[in-house]
Structure 1
Amino acid sequence: MKDELAKIMDRRQLTSEYRKMVQDAVADPDVQTFLSANQGKLASDAVVRGAAKIYEFVTARDRLAAGDPLIAPGYQPQLVVSNGLIDITYVATPEKIAQDALAAKSRLITALNMPKAIKNADIDTYDEKDRGQALSAALDFTTGMAEAPDDFHKGLYLTGPFGVGKTFLLGAIANDLAKHGIASTLLHYPTFAVEMKDAITDNSVLAKTDGIKKAKVLMIDDIGAEAWSAWVRDEVLAVILQYRMQEELPTLFTSNKNMQELTAFLSGSETGKADEPVKAQRIMERVRFLAKEITVGGPDRRNV
Structure 2
Amino acid sequence: MESIQDAMKQLKNTRNFQEQFESLKNQVLTDRYVSEFLSMHPDVSEAAALKSLSSLYSFSNERKTCDACPGLEACPNLMPGYQPHLKLVREVIEVSYGKCPLKMQEDKQKALSTLMKSYFIPKEILQASFDRLYTVDSGRNEAIRHAVDFVKSVSLGQPAKGLYLHGKFGTGKTYLLGAIANALAEKHIESMIVHTPEFLHEMKSSINNGTFSEKMDMLKKVPVLMLDDIGAEHLTHWVRDEIIGVILQHRMMEKLPTLYSSNYTLDLLTEHLAFDQKGGMEKMKALRIMERIRHLSIPVFMGGEINYRL
TM-score range, shorter chain: 0.7 to 0.9
The code of the aligned residue for 1:28 comes to D
Structure 1 pair 48–247 and aligned structure 2 pair: CA distance change class (3 A): farther
What corresponds to 1:21 in structure 2?
Answer: 24
The code of the aligned residue for 1:289 comes to H
CA contact (8 A) 2:86 2:94 kept: yes
Structure 1 residue 300 displacement after superposition = 5.5
- TM-score of the two chains, using structure 2 as the length reference: 0.79
The code of the aligned residue for 1:71 comes to L
CA contact (8 A) 2:44 2:91 kept: no
What corresponds to 1:141 in structure 2?
Answer: 150
The code of the aligned residue for 2:25 comes to V
Distance 2:193 2:259 in 1: 9
The code of the aligned residue for 1:180 comes to K
Q: Which 5+ residue runs of structure 1 have no aligned equivalent? A: 1-13
What corresponds to 1:174 in structure 2?
Answer: 181
Structure 1 pair 159–58 and aligned structure 2 pair: CA distance change class (3 A): same
Structure 1 pair 23–171 and aligned structure 2 pair: CA distance change class (3 A): same
Distance 2:18 2:250 in 1: 76
Structure 1 counterpart SS, 2:94? strand
Structure 1 residue 234 corresponds to structure 2 residue 236: no
Q: 1:162 aligns with which of 160, 166, 169?
A: 169
Taking every aligned residue pair, what percent have the same amino acid on both sides?
39
The code of the aligned residue for 2:297 comes to A
- Larger mean Cα displacement after TM superposition, 74-83 or 20-29: 20-29
Write out aligned runs for 1:88-167 (5 A).
88-130=95-137, 131-148=140-157, 151-167=158-174
What corresponds to 1:218 in structure 2?
Answer: 225
Structure 1 residue 185 corresponds to structure 2 residue 213: no
Q: 1:291 aligns with which of 280, 288, 297?
A: 297
CA contact (8 A) 2:274 2:286 kept: yes
Structure 2 counterpart SS, 1:158? strand
Distance 2:38 2:212 in 1: 65
CA contact (8 A) 2:153 2:159 kept: no
CA RMSD of aligned residues (A): 2.8
CA deviation profile, 1:147-174 (whole Å, cap 9, x unmatched)? 33xx542211101111211111111211
CA contact (8 A) 2:118 2:194 kept: yes
What corresponds to 1:280 in structure 2?
Answer: 286
The code of the aligned residue for 1:135 comes to I
Structure 1 pair 105–47 and aligned structure 2 pair: CA distance change class (3 A): farther
Structure 1 counterpart SS, 2:150? helix
CA deviation profile, 1:154-200 (whole Å, cap 9, x unmatched)? 21110111121111111121122223333221111122222233444
CA deviation profile, 1:23-51 (whole Å, cap 9, x unmatched)? 44333332232234x44xx7x34664344
The code of the aligned residue for 2:186 comes to K
Distance 1:220 1:303 in 2: 19
Distance 1:72 1:284 in 2: 55
Q: Which 5+ residue runs of structure 2 have no aligned equivalent? A: 1-16
Structure 1 counterpart SS, 2:234? coil
How many residue pairs end up in the alignment? 284
- TM-score of the two chains, using structure 1 as the length reference: 0.81
What corresponds to 2:5 in structure 1?
Answer: none
Distance 1:171 1:82 in 2: 48
CA contact (8 A) 2:38 2:44 kept: no
- Larger mean Cα displacement after TM superposition, 115-124 or 44-53: 44-53
Structure 1 residue 113 displacement after superposition = 1.5
Q: 2:38 aligns with which of 35, 38, 43?
A: 35
CA contact (8 A) 1:81 1:87 kept: yes
What corresponds to 1:49 in structure 2?
Answer: 48
The code of the aligned residue for 2:60 comes to V
Structure 1 residue 82 corresponds to structure 2 residue 89: yes
